[in-house]
Structure 1
């Protein structure tokens, strides 16, 4: 399981500011030394938002990014947060997207991003693990 707080700990030059950065954004980064996180987020939301901002930091993104970049960052963060093994273990018994997201310790949006980004090989792997192929895959 990816632990973004451990990853952050290795980035000694980066500080977290516990304040909502913008009325429409619960998290942001300056792309260099600061990550802002809304202190009202749940633990899973913080985990997902921090991972998302770490991906931006890794790429040196500053300011608002074009939709294509945001899409790529969301996909990368979702892939980091949810391994195929974790998805394979939880998907067969979960009864809903919310239940699956909760089990994987992510938000439903991050789970949706991960499912949307599955490769053909990953889809085949998951389908083989599920007795009845469901819409979730």
Structure 2
């Protein structure tokens, strides 16, 4: 059983889960994305220079591609894979109990995202999921 099985919210650690699965995390310059799951290399590639919160969200997203067996992000199937990865990652990154607690005092989405240790993009994806997915915004900068 993976380390993170059943762990959600602030304690969720996608890097530890990738490590336990034997999937290396490679860091390098990426032109137009923050992360990529590379089945050919059996590795997750993450852009240099991300903040710890950005990297955590990227790794959660890419881990969902790994778990789903995704092999690419092009075409209609790719868009569906991106939406699935974004939604599943947001569910693991943001526990409902954490969300409810922090929403009581956070002044805006930036403060809420900071309290939850996620990007505003992950926060919006979780909000859209809680709204039934109707407001999903398409692909994100972290998609790949």
1:11 to 13, 16, 21: 21
- Secondary structure of 1:29's partner? strand
Q: Could you report, residue by residue, the CA deviation over 1:67-90 in whole angstroms, capped at 9, with x for unpaired residues? A: 122111100000010000110110
2:32 to 10, 24, 48: 24
- Secondary structure of 2:44's partner? strand
- Normalising by the residue count of structure 1, what TM-score does the alignment of the two structures yield? 0.80
- Secondary structure of 2:45's partner? strand
Give RMSD over aligned pairs.
Answer: 1.5
- Secondary structure of 2:25's partner? strand
> Unmatched 5+ residue regions in structure 2?
1-10, 133-144
Find runs of 4+ consecutive structure 1 residues off by over 4 angstroms: none
Deviation at 1:119, TM superposition (A): 5.8
Q: Could you report, residue by residue, the CA deviation over 1:37-94 in whole angstroms, capped at 9, with x for unpaired residues? A: 0121111000000010000011111122421221111000000100001101101100
Q: Contact (CA 8 Å) 1:28, 1:53: kept in 2 or not?
A: yes
- Secondary structure of 1:93's partner? coil
- Specify the structure having the higher radius of gyration (Cα): 1
Q: Contact (CA 8 Å) 2:70, 2:81: kept in 1 or not?
A: no
Tell me which residue corresponds to 2:81. 69
Number of aligned pairs? Answer: 118
